[in-house]
Amino acid sequence: MARVVYAVRDPNSLASGGARALEAAGIEVVLNSEVDEIAYSNRAWLHKIKNSRPYFIWKIATTLDGRTAAIDGSSKWITGPDSRAEVSKLRYESSAILVGTATALADNPNLIPRDIETTRKTNPVRVVMGLREIPSEFNLHDDAAETVFLKSHDFSELLKLCADRDFNQVFVESGSELGTELLKAGLIDELVIFQAASLLGSGQSFIGDLGATNIKEKMDFVIRDVAQFGNDLKITLTKETGI
């Protein structure tokens, strides 16, 4: 008897029913037992189909005490070259990279994946959200990638842009203000924290006020993975175990 093993049920109604059709034809159909692990590898697309919006990953580079910059504003480099190479991979895997105008003005980033062997014809779209103007000589105006300047603080406009452009995964490289507001709005699906083995004791915290007034209001996550990159830890957290 013929046998088919599949990994994840397709949530798209346009593509459903394949297993039933095979079974009706006398073919044994088996669901793979590693469904959660396999679904995670395709989480961005699965999430978009189920939730009608892309999967948002917020990347944070921080010290052990949760600082993303020193008290004078300097932040290069909190983490090491191995971590930065891993960030390039995460950029490459994303449809778009999101920053706020505060990060754009403070860091003048280019947000381009570097040292990645790629078959992509274009780099991820850079999305800059906020009302302040970015000077024309800044890197975000170069031709290394398309940049969309979204002159708004309204997340419904961000989601409309994502829908119009059919983004699967948005990689957030913002500071604490935009990242915290996205988190409070329920739009951060995954945190990727690169934590250096260092302390500052003062400076910019990676997270802002979440409105919690007691321990019962804390925001909990599931540890998906912990890996070492040079002298840094990469900690991947999601909202839930399933996708």
CB-CB contact of 170 with 99 (8 Å): no
Q: Does residue 243 sit within a domain?
A: no
Q: Which residue has the higher pLDDT, 32 or 216?
A: 216
CB-CB contact of 171 with 94 (8 Å): yes
What CATH number is associated with residue 201? 3.40.430.10
Give the per-residue pLDDT at 115: 77
Q: What is the tally of structural domains in the chain?
A: 2
Is the domain of 150 the same as that of 208? yes
Query: What does the alpha-carbon distance between residue 204 and residue 70 come to, in Å, rounded to a whole number?
Result: 6
Q: Which of 194, 176, 188, 177 is nearest to 221 (CA)?
A: 188
Residue 146: give the domain boundaries: 36-238
Is the domain of 108 the same as that of 26? no
Query: What does the alpha-carbon distance between residue 175 and residue 160 come to, in Å, rounded to a whole number?
Result: 22
What does the DSSP assignment read for 18-53?
HHHHHHHTT-EEEE-TTHHHHHHHTHHHHHHHHHSS
What does the DSSP assignment read for 36-98?
HHHHHHTHHHHHHHHHSSPEEEEEEEE-TTSEEE-TTS--TTSS-HHHHHHHHHHHHT-SEEE
Give the per-residue pLDDT at 50: 87
Residues composing the chain: 243
Is the domain of 3 the same as that of 90? no
pLDDT averaged over every residue in the chain: 87
Q: Which two tokens stand for residue 199?
A: 């302390």
32-87 pLDDT, tens digit each: 655 566 667 678 878 888 889 999 999 999 999 999 988 888 888 899 999 999 99
Q: Percent of the chain scored above 90 by pLDDT? A: 66
Query: What does the alpha-carbon distance between residue 232 and residue 196 come to, in Å, rounded to a whole number?
Result: 5
Is the domain of 17 the same as that of 88? no
Q: Which residue has the higher pLDDT, 11 or 188?
A: 188
